[in-house]
């Protein structure tokens, strides 16, 4: 059975790791894109000890409210229209304000003082060059919002926090710190700051400020280039698995799969596994790509290479490493404890975030 197993206990463990790394900051746990593909309904209960959650769209915010999340919800791209701003007010959602139209909606339509929407995350573009005001613009906007009665959190987003040595980090930190200081002096000392995503939490502990915004780290992947998930004591929150549906010996000089990409150098024992890109396993992987086959009786795990092109519904693996009598129906782990999704991402030339988000609806979803 094509199965995605979510492990809420792992998410809670990872949240606790974040709290150890950033003990003096509040935690906005990112659950955008269906909780990085894990399923927001499965994930929210595991995040009970977070101070808030972050989402990318109003629909995601409303879904979290419907699921009973009654603490802070941060809408990280803000309202897209004046109507969305009103809906944010209706559902006590705190919005990012990153450009002039959003500022205007906020000034024209001020929520009650008790509303969570009176908390605004005002976005400063320190070098990502996607969203945000420049220094002058952010200071002007902050003044207007403060005068209108909003409570402010200055925020920005790192472009290269995964690589602590990247020169842009220091520049982004400096710009952010300077503007935050200016705002505290010239507007209000109560203005808060939020700078760090997962990578920033690990790499820049001295700049955690009032709110940290962990994302991928909650799901058990390493957010930085020089430390593995294991070194950071993170637990993978997802296991993606399937089963062996056929066994075969492919004779020497025969090719496997579309494009006849992999040619057997010798007679090779292979297994068909009921998984493919139609489930979310990446179609293009390097020759290093492997899966783990679990022998049911012993619970022993065997690393088996993926052979040839990944198809929509199946892959072929080399089971030379596994016992001769490995059974049909044996469980095959695409990612989980081993291989870790970070490894699979490396084999697919991408990052774990993408693999987790781009799962299809076909696999059955369960919780461990």
Nearest 5 degrees, angle CA 279-CA 238-CA 18? 140
String of contacts with a copy of itself for each residue 28-67, x by CB under 8 A: ----xxx-xx------------------xx-xx-------
- 94 forms beta bridges with 74
Token duo for residue 90: 């209706």
Q: CB-wise, 236 or 363, nearer to a copy of itself?
A: 363
86 near a copy of itself, judged by CB under 8 A:
no
Judge contact between 199 and 18, C-beta under 8 A. no
311 near a copy of itself, judged by CB under 8 A:
yes
Q: Helices 82-90 and 58-66 sit at what angle, rounded to 10 degrees?
A: 20
Q: CB-wise, 187 or 271, nearer to a copy of itself?
A: 271
Q: Who's near 167: CB < 8 A, 6+ residues apart?
A: none
String of contacts with a copy of itself for each residue 171-210, x by CB under 8 A: ----------------------------------------
**Residue from 51, 82, 101, 104 binding a copy of itself (CB under 8 A):** 101
Q: Who's near 279: CB < 8 A, 6+ residues apart?
A: 2, 242, 359, 360, 362, 363
Q: CB-wise, 181 or 327, nearer to a copy of itself?
A: 327
255 near a copy of itself, judged by CB under 8 A:
yes
**Residue from 19, 65, 283, 365 binding a copy of itself (CB under 8 A):** 283
CA atoms within 13 A on the CB side of 35: 23
Q: CB-wise, 233 or 288, nearer to a copy of itself?
A: 288
Judge contact between 112 and 138, C-beta under 8 A. no
- 219 φψ region: left (φ > 0), alpha (ψ -120 to 50), beta (else): alpha
Q: CB-wise, 187 or 332, nearer to a copy of itself?
A: 332
Q: Give least dist CB 84 to a copy of itself, A.
A: 10
Instruction: Count CB neighbours of 27 within 10 A.
Output: 23
**Residue from 284, 338, 366, 368 binding a copy of itself (CB under 8 A):** 284
**Residue from 259, 265, 266, 299 binding a copy of itself (CB under 8 A):** 259
Confirm whether 258 is a catalytic residue: yes
Dihedral angle, C-alpha 248, 252, 255, 261, nearest 10 °: 120
What is the residue whose two structure tokens read 């940290």? 212
Number of residues lying near a copy of itself (CB under 8 A): 68
**Residue from 9, 170, 181, 246 binding a copy of itself (CB under 8 A):** 246
Q: CB-wise, 62 or 230, nearer to a copy of itself?
A: 62
Interface of this chain with a copy of itself, residues 323 to 352, rule: CB under 8 A: 328-329, 349-351
Judge contact between 304 and 314, C-beta under 8 A. no
- CA distances to 23, 33, 47, 195, 220 from 234, in Å: 17, 21, 15, 22, 5
320 near a copy of itself, judged by CB under 8 A:
no
Backbone φ, ψ for residue 208 (5° rounding): -75, -30
Q: How far is CA 195 from the centre of its chain?
A: 17
Instruction: Count CB neighbours of 32 within 10 A.
Output: 20
CA distance 106 to 94: 11
280 near a copy of itself, judged by CB under 8 A:
yes
77 near a copy of itself, judged by CB under 8 A:
yes
Q: Which of 7, 32, 123, 331 is catalytic?
A: 32
**Residue from 3, 115, 160, 301 binding a copy of itself (CB under 8 A):** 160
Strands (E), 172-213: 192-194, 211-212
Confirm whether 281 is a catalytic residue: no
Q: Which residues are catalytic?
A: 32, 258
Contact positions vs a copy of itself (CB under 8 A)? 2, 32-34, 36-37, 56-57, 59-60, 76-77, 80-81, 98-99, 101, 127-131, 159-160, 166, 168, 243, 245-248, 250, 254-260, 270, 272, 274, 276-280, 283-284, 311-314, 316, 328-329, 349-351, 353-354, 357-362, 364
């Amino acid at each position: 059975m094509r199965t995605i197993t979510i492990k809420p206990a792992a998410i809670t463990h990872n949240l606790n790791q974040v709290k150890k790394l950033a003990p003096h900051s509040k935690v906005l746990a990112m659950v955008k894109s269906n909780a990085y593909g894990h399923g927001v309904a499965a994930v929210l209960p595991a995040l009970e000890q977070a101070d808030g959650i972050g989402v990318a769209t109003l629909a995601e915010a409303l879904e979290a409210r419907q699921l009973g999340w009654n603490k802070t919800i941060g809408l990280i791209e803000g309202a897209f229209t004046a109507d969305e701003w009103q809906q944010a007010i209706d559902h006590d959602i705190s919005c990012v304000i990153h450009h002039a139209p959003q500022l205007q909606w906020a000034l024209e339509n001020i929520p009650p003082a008790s509303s969570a929407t009176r908390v605004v995350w005002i976005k400063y573009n320190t070098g990502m060059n996607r969203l945000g005001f420049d220094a002058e613009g952010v200071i002007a906007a902050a003044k207007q919002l403060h005068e209108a009665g909003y409570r402010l959190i200055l925020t920005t987003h790192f472009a290269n926090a995964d690589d602590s040595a990247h020169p842009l980090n220091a520049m982004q930190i400096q710009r952010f710190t300077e503007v935050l200081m200016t705002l505290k002096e010239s507007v209000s000392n109560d203005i808060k700051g939020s700078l760090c995503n997962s990578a920033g939490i690990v790499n820049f502990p001295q700049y955690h400020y009032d709110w940290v915004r962990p994302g991928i780290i909650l799901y058990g992947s390493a957010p930085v280039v020089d430390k593995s998930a294991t070194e950071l004591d993170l637990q993978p929150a997802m296991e993606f698995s399937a089963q062996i549906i056929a066994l075969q010996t492919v004779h020497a000089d025969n090719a496997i799969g579309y494009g006849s990409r992999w040619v057997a150098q010798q007679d090779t024992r292979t297994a068909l596994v009921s998984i493919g890109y139609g489930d979310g396993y990446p179609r293009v992987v390097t020759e290093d790509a492997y899966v783990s086959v679990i022998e049911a009786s012993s619970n022993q795990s065997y690393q088996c290479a993926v052979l040839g092109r990944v198809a929509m519904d199946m892959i072929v693996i080399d089971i030379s490493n596994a016992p001769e009598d490995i059974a049909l129906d044996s469980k095959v782990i695409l990612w989980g404890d081993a291989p870790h999704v970070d490894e699979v991402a490396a084999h697919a030339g991408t990052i774990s975030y993408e693999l987790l988000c781009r799962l299809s609806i076909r696999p059955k979803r369960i919780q461990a």
